[in-house]
């Protein structure tokens, strides 16, 4: 049980190490990212106003971003702890395969079947999240290595189960209502589901002790251990959150594409991580917001849509997003260095995905 004193100590950890300065900078960065997104929209509007300002175009942007945003909510929690989850794309595939198989075996028709499929997808994602969290927290394997391994495992198992062939038996009610349905007017059901996940993720991260401890782990994991926080348990649950979001993403993918997408998510992890980082979540841990993640993930989708209507090859989107990602990480590092110099503190080693930059990592992250 967490005491009031212990909670106060956690808040001190989060506020320590000049984090308040960094967070104020991050809020400014979030504003800048919003301005970048608005600037892109203005540019594409000038280039082709009829196409870009159409209801169809904005609906396409929202639908295409929805699944990425759901995944991004989970990844935000992981990266705030200075971890990484490279497995989300493969977990999405695994969850969709398991969900499709179960629904097919039950008859593929009706809301009851679709509901069972949703539960299976979430549980499948949670299972991989638990595996990731357990190996990171208990086996002390760096998150980068763990999730790189489970990325291959989840995809490989999916291919073994299906023979590498996509499954197509998806309930029509799921496709018609979730995949292509609208709540009101032209507001897609997918977007509403993504919004619900964003709101729940925002509350969990910004309004609960779970969120506070998530920030604390990214700020100073060893200090959390010293004051009695169950770091291992917190880490496991953080990765479960990411896995659950990937499971939900897999289910939404089934609804949208009317099939599993075994070969279609090889770069999903990189796209989502890039969007989360562009949105202001620091790879060095301790800093990030759900709002920033949403904006960061809207940027690559808007870019792609804008390039298409402008007659530019959509492949250039990857180039521009890569530039954004490198720039975001570089600027984050520079700002942190300046913040520490202004406070008179020496630079300290920083960890990304469990791999320490700047010094030799202690074995097992132990005291």
Q: What phi and psi values does residue 258 have, to the nearest 5 degrees?
A: 60, 20
- Report if residue 362 sits inside a domain: no
Please indicate, yes or no, if residue 96 is contained in any of the structural domains.
Answer: yes
Q: Does 198 fall in a domain?
A: yes
Q: What tens digit of pLDDT does each residue of 71-101 get? A: 999 999 999 999 999 999 999 999 999 999 9
Banded model confidence at residue 344, pLDDT cuts 50, 70, 90: low
58 lies in which domain range?
9-347
**CATH number of the domain within which 284 lies:** 1.10.3470
Tell me how many domains the chain contains.
1
The answer to the question of residue 249 being in a domain is: yes
Q: Which residues make beta-bridge pairs with 352?
A: 355
Mean pLDDT of 349-356: 62
Q: Answer whether residue 4 is part of any domain.
A: no
Residue 195 included in any domain:
yes
pLDDT value of residue 314: 75
Distance of alpha carbon 253 from the chain centroid: 15
What pLDDT does residue 367 have? 37
Secondary structure in 3-state letters for 72-129:
HHHHHHHHHCCCCCCCHHHHHHHHHHHHHHHHHHHCCCCHHHHHHHHHHHHHHHHHHH
What is the rounded distance in angstroms from the CA atom of residue 9 to the CA atom of residue 216?
Answer: 10
Model pLDDT, residue 5: 64
176 falls within a domain: yes
pTM over 0.85: yes
> 9 φ, ψ to 5°?
-65, -40
Do the domain assignments include residue 352? Answer: no
CB 305 within 8 A of CB 280: no
Quick check: 340 pLDDT over 50? yes
Of 151, 147, 164, 181, the C-alpha closest to 97 is 164
Question: Is residue 218 over pLDDT 60?
Answer: yes
The mean-pLDDT minimum among 207-216, 289-298, 336-345 falls in 336-345
């Amino acid at each position: 049980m967490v005491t009031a004193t212990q909670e106060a100590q956690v808040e001190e950890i989060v506020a320590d190490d000049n984090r308040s300065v960094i967070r104020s900078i991050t809020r400014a960065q979030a504003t800048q990212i919003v301005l970048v997104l608005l600037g892109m929209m203005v540019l594409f509007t000038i280039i082709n106003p009829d196409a870009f300002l159409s209801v169809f175009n904005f609906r396409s942007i929202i639908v295409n971003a929805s699944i990425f945003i759901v995944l991004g909510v989970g990844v935000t929690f992981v990266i705030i702890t200075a971890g990484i989850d490279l497995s989300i794309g493969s977990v999405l595939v695994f969850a969709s395969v398991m969900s499709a198989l179960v629904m097919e075996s039950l008859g593929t028709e009706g809301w009851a079947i679709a509901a069972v499929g949703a539960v299976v997808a979430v549980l499948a994602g949670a299972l991989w999240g638990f595996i990731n969290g357990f190996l990171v927290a208990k086996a002390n394997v760096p998150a980068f290595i763990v999730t790189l391994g489970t990325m291959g495992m989840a995809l490989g198992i999916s291919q073994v189960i299906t023979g590498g062939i996509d499954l197509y038996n998806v309930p029509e009610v799921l496709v018609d209502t979730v995949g292509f349905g609208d709540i009101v007017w032209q507001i897609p059901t997918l977007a509403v589901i993504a919004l619900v996940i964003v709101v729940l993720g925002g509350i969990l991260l910004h309004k609960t002790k779970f969120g506070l401890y998530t920030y604390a782990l990214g700020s100073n994991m060893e200090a959390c251990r010293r004051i009695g926080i169950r770091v291992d348990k917190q880490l496991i649950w953080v990765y479960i959150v990411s896995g659950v979001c990937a499971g939900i993403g897999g289910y939404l993918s089934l609804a949208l594409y009317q099939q599993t997408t075994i070969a279609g998510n090889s770069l999903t992890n990189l796209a989502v991580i890039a969007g989360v980082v562009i949105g202001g979540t620091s790879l060095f841990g301790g800093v990030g917001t759900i709002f920033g993640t949403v904006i960061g993930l809207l940027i690559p989708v808007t870019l792609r849509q804008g390039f298409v209507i402008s007659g530019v090859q959509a492949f250039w989107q990857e180039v521009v997003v890569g530039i954004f990602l490198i720039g975001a990480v570089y600027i984050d590092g520079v700002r942190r260095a300046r913040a520490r110099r202004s406070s008179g503190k020496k630079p300290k080693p920083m960890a990304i995905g469990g791999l320490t930059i700047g010094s030799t990592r202690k074995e097992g992250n132990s005291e």
